[in-house]
Amino acid sequence: MTQAPDQLAPPQTIGLDLRPGNGAVHRMESRKKQALETGRSRLLVAGVGFALAFFLVASRMVELAVAPLAREPSLAASQVGDRLDTGRAEILDRNGIVLATTLPMASLYADTAQIVYPEQAAQRLRTVLPELDQVRLTKTFASGKRFVWIKRKISPTKQFKVNRLGIPGLHFQREMTRIYPMGRLTAHLLGYTNIDNRGLAGIEQAFDKRLRESSVPLKISIDLRIQHLVAEELAAAKETFRAIGAAGLVMDANNGEVLASISLPSYNPYRPEDLTEDEIDRNSLGVYELGSIFKVLTLAMGIEEGVVRLTDAFDARKPLKIGGHTIDDFHAKRTVLTVPEVFIHSSNIGTALIASRVGGERLKGYLDELGMLETLEGTQLHTARPILPLRWQAVNVATIAFGHGIAVTPLHFAAAAAATVNGGYYYSPRFTLHDKPFEEVLEEGRQAFSRKTSEAMRWLMRLNVQKGSGRKAAVEGYLVGGKTGTPEKLIGGRYAKNRRMANFVAAFPMDRPRFLVLIMLDEPKPTKDTYGYATAGWVAAPVTGRLIARLAPLLGVDPAAKEASEIADRHLIPVVIGGD
């Protein structure tokens, strides 16, 4: 019998009863929830783990970037100790421009106990550092020493390449290296340091302890703008006149601060080992017979002593004979010369006669007062000791009067010359800024000459630029005064007539001098434009004039109208003319 469709039996399932109220459904849903909770917990734990790992990695990266010196290899630190502390304070010019700073670099050292194959390691390392010696490097790697320097202060590129070699036992130590952004422009002035950043010359040596022990930048008196202008004018003159060397400096006449100091040829401050004798700092370490610019000092001594008046006259009609020696003029006038004429015609005869009135003892005393007999005190830089005569006889006094028989550095002379125009006060040259008010600085000066003598010298120097050997140093609108000097060089114990120096000392503005300029060219050669002459009036004076024309606006010295200049010139007439 066949059953009707609506009377069919309910479907049957195998092993699972899905009818309402059955417990199997509830157990299945419970297991699903439990699995979800377990997965969620595992994801949470994994997320926390990843976050912790990321935090640790990030922390290490920050530590390496921000404090790279905090965790250097302990082996290197234990072996070299204090030498790893190679930081130095910056050196700045007076306007805050960086002249010297330090940057981190890597130095390569080896723990040779970890190097298994010394010869192979040496060969591989030389593919990056070919300057290393193969034999010596192999012996070093085979020595078994726990620490040995391989190469100090290598570039980041080479550090990367060494790391890529993967040689066990090679490690890097971070050190600081000295950087001189201005290169040769400030090389002589700043000096240099050794491999451990200890100062060996210049400002680096003079202030070594201060630069190593303090992080505060050292601000010096140099104005980089003026330094650049002096270097530019000197380099052009050196090339034009084919001189073997040149030097120039600019000084504040009222406190001794050196605003610029250039010596040519200069040198690469990163390779001081290549320094030659021609590349010494001529301003502070070179001693020279500076010639007729010394007459500035001799005339000031004579006026100060009261043995010479500007109205006095001296017989220069024939050479002067002293103790078997003959003194003559380069451009002899063969006439009687007044004191102003002695100065503007640069008469050796007249100047020697003035020195004889001063006398050897008093002349020597003045030179001592002007710091010309010893290394400079308070200058901060190391300076050479002057070369003096063994005996101060009459002939020595006569020749020293016009700059022969005594050799000093340009820095010595500049400070002494400043005292003749600034009111009579001597200030030792300095390369750091005064930290006292201007009035207190003035009181620190040592009075070497009276104001009356200084006024007379201002007039004489101004007169020389107007009518004498310094005419080519004249600058329109500025009251420039100065003196030429063209000494013959002493070669092999004899003066060589064809090997001279050309020197010019100047000050401005002469109605109230603020700045002193000294230019020196060593063995200049004549040109067609100088009509065969290579004397200071043709060579050094024009350089000085061009330099002052560029310097004056930077130094805040405004040009005066023609009428104002004429009035100022009239005011320069000294009170000593015609009597006390």
CA of 484: how far to CAs of 294, 425, 506, 539, in Å? 9, 23, 9, 10
Q: Within 81-183, where are the H helices?
A: 118-125, 134-141, 156-165
Q: How far apart are CA 365 and CA 378, in angstroms?
A: 20
* Assigned token pair, 328: 């003559």
Cβ count within 10 A of residue 347? 29
- CA–CA distance, 192 with 200 (Å, rounded to integer): 6
Instruction: Give the contacts of 351 (CB within 8 A, at least 6 positions apart).
Output: 292, 295, 298, 299, 342, 401, 402
- From the candidates 107, 221, 292, 454, give the one annotated as an active-site residue: 292
Task: Check if 292 is active-site.
Answer: yes
What are the C-alpha distances in Å from 285 to residues 136, 230, 297?
A: 39, 19, 22
Q: Phi and psi for 52 in degrees, rounded to 5?
A: -65, -45
One-letter identity of residue 275: L
In the chain, count H helices and then E strands. 19, 17
Record the tokens describing residue 287, joined without a space: 């001693």
Q: Are 428 and 308 in contact, with CB atoms under 8 Å apart?
A: no
Q: Residues near 366 by Cβ (< 8 Å), separated by ≥ 6?
A: 297, 301, 304, 358, 448
- Which of 541, 293, 542, 513 shows the shortest CA–CA distance to 416? 293
Distances (CA, A) of 19 to 13, 27, 32: 10, 14, 20
Longest dimension (CA), the chain: 171
Give the closest residue to 515 by CA, choosing from 309, 252, 296: 252
Q: What is the dihedral of CA 116, 118, 124, 126, to 10 degrees?
A: 150
H helices present in 22-128, as ranges: 24-66, 74-80, 118-125
Is the distance from CB of 296 to CB of 464 less than 8 angstroms?
A: no
Rg for the chain (alpha carbons), in Å? 39
Q: How far apart (Å, rounded) are the C-alpha atoms in residues 147 and 426?
A: 55
Distance CA 377, CA 370 (A): 11
* Residues that are catalytic: 292
